[in-house]
Amino acid sequence: MPLTSHLFASRLSTPKFEARWPAAVVWLCAWALLWYLDGELNLANLALLLVLASAIAGVWLSAWASVVCSALSVLMFNWFFVEPRFAFSVHVHQDLLLLVTMMGVSTVVSYVMARLRWVADLEHQHAQASEQLRALSEAFGETRDLRLQGQHLQSALAQGSGCEVSVLLLEDEASGQRQASQLIGQPQAQDVQGLWACVQQFGAIGPGTGRHENQPTLFLPLRGRTSVFGAAALHSKQPKPMTLQQRDTLQQVCDLLGLEIERTQTFRLAERAKADAQSQSLRNTLLTSISHDYRTPLANLMGAASVIHDQASRLSTEKIASLAQTVLDEAQHLNRMTTNTLQLARLDAAPLQIKKDWESLQEILGSVLANARQRHPQRRMVVAVPGGLPLIHCDAILLVQLFDNLIENAIKYSPANAPIDIQVQAKAETLEVRVMDQGPGIADAWKDKVFHAFERVHTEAAQADASDVTQLRRGMGVGLAVCKAIAKVHGAKLWVEDRAPHGAVMCLSLPVDQQPNVMVEA
């Protein structure tokens, strides 16, 4: 990374020798013209020519050089052109006026020009310096490695100051260990002390800083907006002290890294806070689940079981059987919710740790349907799966859970006598599975929300019937949320559509990967 000495160059400006030749040319031309016009014009007019030349030459000369040139010209003019020629006898009044005029004009011109040059120069240097600071800042930004950033700083400072540089960097403040630090370079023991002192005092130490003026090493802090993130020690080899400007520039370079480190830390803190907030929100979701969704089936379970326990002798066999069925149903319901909740937590914590393999969608749906039919022997399910579907690369257990939830929801949210339709279609590069019910459907406002944990759909129709509301409340939230999470880890899309005349369609679009090679025998 080039950081040239421009940054630190002296800002006093004198035109370079190469830049002065136009002045010489101007003077030569003026003299040539004077010789040529000698005798043609009178002395006063020739003198004006001289004033003109002096003014123009002033553009390229410093003020002093202009004055000297002008004085010389006046003398030469006097010697060659003023009668009596080749002698310095002067008509004091006339020549003095000429001399003063020429000197005045050329001095003013030179001064103005010098001033202009100085300003332009300064601007150029500023531009260059900020360009280099920008490049340095980019170099800092390119890496997250603190050590590498420190090395960039070290080389930049060394180049800029000609000093031996060592850098102290403090590790992440957020880790709570302010002691953790890195040293770059080989500082002497007392320099290490100086570096720490510089960090602790939040300010520069050393010659020209007003603190510990007599010691040879200059310590500069790496300042951020709110804190100090390290320090740099510049161990000077020459006794010549730095100018204020040089030190300012070096401090700017140090602060650049300070700000960069602060920015990185702020960013990291924000990330961490975001992750914390996310896991907090999941925890809240799970707590909501346990406190509400679990209590209802548990209450039913306890009610039924306690009736059997306390009153068995006074109950008919049928009544006991029906209570036992309630216990079984509720237990199964709790099992499903637990599985879903745990899966949601697992997928949220480690979405990448799933075990994918080549699976047949037909098989997966087959085993889901077998379970669903066992649970709901009375329910009609119409299944259309074409043969010869491509294999999908997925976690079979997760997809079973997904379809199981979709079918269970469809069953729960539609009238008992209406069939559930399950269809699979092969599209270009995807397999689309649709689970369709003939229930009330899902309002547009809820089409996204149903997939968010623990939000439930309340339709007007359902609210009319208290038992339906109870039905609606049960298990939907986590079920669809886990479906969404499973779809996400498979790069699949899951959404709701309307069904005519009424009902909901849950659509899952699974990506189909490049199929593995299999030698098929006849």
Instruction: Note whether 363 binds another protein by CB under 8 A.
Output: yes
Within 10 Å of residue 2's Cβ, how many Cβ atoms?
7
Closest CB to another protein among residues 171, 513: 513
Instruction: Note whether 470 binds another protein by CB under 8 A.
Output: no
Instruction: Note whether 518 binds another protein by CB under 8 A.
Output: yes
The Cα 195–Cα 254 span in angstroms is: 13
Instruction: Note whether 366 binds another protein by CB under 8 A.
Output: yes
Instruction: Note whether 369 binds another protein by CB under 8 A.
Output: yes
The Cα 342–Cα 480 span in angstroms is: 14
* Least Cβ distance, residue 375 to another protein (angstroms): 12
Among 347, 400, 478, 486, binds another protein (CB under 8 A): 400
Radius of gyration of the chain from its Cα atoms, rounded to whole angstroms:
45
| Residue partners of 399: CB distance under 8 A and separation at least 6 | 359, 361, 364, 486, 490
Instruction: Note whether 370 binds another protein by CB under 8 A.
Output: yes
Closest CB to another protein among residues 291, 374: 374
Q: Identity (one letter) of the amino acid at 243?
A: T
The Cα 157–Cα 253 span in angstroms is: 8
Core vs surface per residue 382-400: b (16+ CB within 10 A) or e: eeebeeeebbbbbbbebbb
Instruction: Note whether 420 binds another protein by CB under 8 A.
Output: no
Stretch that binds another protein, among 176-184, 351-359, 437-445, 476-484 (CB under 8 A): 351-359
Strand spans (E) along 428-469: 430-436
- Considering CB under 8 A, how many residues would be counted as binding another protein? 34
Closest CB to another protein among residues 500, 519: 519
Q: Would you give the binding string for another protein spanning residues 229-268, x where CB under 8 A is met? A: ----------------------------------------
CB 154 within 8 A of CB 195: no
Which strands sit side by side in the sheet containing 493-498, from one edge to the other? 381-384, 420-427, 430-436, 504-511, 493-498
* Least Cβ distance, residue 285 to another protein (angstroms): 20
Stretch that binds another protein, among 30-38, 172-180, 239-247, 353-361 (CB under 8 A): 353-361
Instruction: Note whether 192 binds another protein by CB under 8 A.
Output: no
Closest CB to another protein among residues 464, 518: 518
| Residue partners of 130: CB distance under 8 A and separation at least 6 | none
Instruction: Note whether 391 binds another protein by CB under 8 A.
Output: yes
* Least Cβ distance, residue 135 to another protein (angstroms): 51
**Nearest of 212, 232, 214 to residue 222 by alpha carbon:** 232
Interface positions with another protein (CB under 8 A): 328, 331, 335, 339, 342, 355, 357-360, 362-367, 369-370, 373, 383, 385, 387, 391, 395-397, 399-400, 515-516, 518, 520-522
